[in-house]
């Protein structure tokens, strides 16, 4: 880039480049990436459109744009994402928290009493347990994950939000939940069936961890493990709340009923898709 590049010129070039690579929101992604790289907010971008960029700035931006052009998720490129109005560190060891999962937070808050014990199964980045702890200061919470790399990310996020006294993170398999009882168990477990894998977006299929996505038995394996253990792991009147894939509501509801749970319900997200199944001991 021997020519002079203003911020606006680079923004237009990146928008076109991202569009050619098949990215859904090329202008927005270009703005967010530039704002991150230049330590500006989006208003700051608009106010600096005519500013020529230094070579050092171009050298910083170029590899970031290349990574996004290769369909690496923007959140991984930036290293952070927002969930429940909180900022979380994310990388390729963890799933990127999605806005749809916030309905799981809403349901957990609706079912939570003034104090209690909560288990987040498959905690990943810790987005769910941290978000709930930020709202339920008198609860003690545990985040469980099989991946030590994911737990490292979750611990960073717990520390960042100053919740170390409230949240404990442990390594373990959801097929063997901790030998204690909880008032509330929440989970966004792996639920993608192998037959669905090739249809996933490149951002998911090529970059997000398979361990946190794929499940056997047509995507139902983790729900089977959870419902098999739920009556021994929940206190009387305790709740199990899980996120589901959009085609799994009936099958997961049936597992809850077969496990003897009562008040079983299905909650839709704000796009109208079934998103959470819950039931009470």
Ramachandran angles phi, psi of 229, nearest 5°: -105, -10
Q: Does 1 have pLDDT greater than 50?
A: no
- Alpha carbons 39 and 49: distance in angstroms, whole number: 14
* Span 132-169, pLDDT tens digits: 999 999 999 999 999 999 999 999 999 999 999 999 99
Mean pLDDT of the chain: 95
**Phi and psi, residue 97, nearest 5°:** -60, 135
Given this structure, which CATH class describes domain 83-280?
alpha beta
118, 139 contact by CB (below 8 A)? yes
What letter would DSSP give residue 192? B
Output DSSP code: residue 212. Answer: G
Neighbours of 98 (CB within 10 A): 14
How many Å is the Cα radius of gyration of the chain? Answer: 21
Residue 105's φ and ψ, nearest 5 degrees, are -60, -45
Q: Hey, what are 42's tokens?
A: 């989006």
In the prediction, which pLDDT does 183 show?
Answer: 98
Q: In Å, what is the CA distance from 69 to each residue of 30, 80, 201, 269?
A: 10, 18, 14, 30
What values do phi and psi take at 80, rounded to 5?
-145, 160
- pLDDT band for position 69 (cuts 50, 70, 90): very high
pTM (two decimals): 0.92
Residues 188, 128: contact at Cβ < 8 Å?
yes
């Amino acid at each position: 880039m021997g020519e002079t590049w203003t911020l606006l010129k680079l923004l237009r070039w990146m928008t076109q480049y991202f569009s050619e690579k098949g990215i859904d929101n090329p202008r927005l992604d270009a703005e967010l990436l530039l704002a991150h790289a230049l330590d500006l907010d989006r208003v700051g971008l608009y106010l600096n459109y005519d500013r020529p960029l230094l070579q050092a700035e171009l050298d910083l931006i170029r590899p970031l744009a290349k990574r996004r052009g290769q369909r690496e998720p923007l959140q991984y490129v930036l290293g952070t994402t927002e969930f429940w109005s909180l900022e979380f560190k994310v990388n390729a060891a963890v799933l990127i928290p999605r806005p749809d999962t916030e309905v799981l937070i809403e349901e957990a808050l609706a079912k939570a009493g003034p104090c209690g014990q909560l288990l987040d199964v498959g905690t990943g980045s810790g987005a769910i347990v941290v978000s709930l702890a930020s709202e339920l200061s008198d609860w003690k919470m545990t985040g469980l994950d099989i991946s030590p790399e994911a737990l490292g990310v979750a611990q960073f996020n717990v520390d960042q939000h100053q919740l170390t006294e409230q949240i404990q993170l442990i390594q373990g398999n959801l097929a063997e939940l901790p030998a204690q009882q909880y008032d509330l168990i929440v989970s966004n477990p792996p639920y993608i069936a192998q037959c669905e894998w090739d249809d996933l977006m490149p951002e998911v299929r090529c970059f997000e961890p398979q361990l946190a996505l794929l499940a056997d038995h047509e995507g139902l394996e983790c729900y089977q493990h959870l419902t098999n253990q739920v009556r021994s792991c929940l206190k009387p009147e305790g709740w199990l709340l899980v996120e589901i894939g959009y085609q799994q509501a009936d099958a997961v509801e049936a597992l809850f009923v077969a496990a003897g749970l009562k008040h079983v319900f299905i909650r839709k997200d704000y796009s109208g898709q079934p998103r959470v199944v819950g039931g009470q001991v």
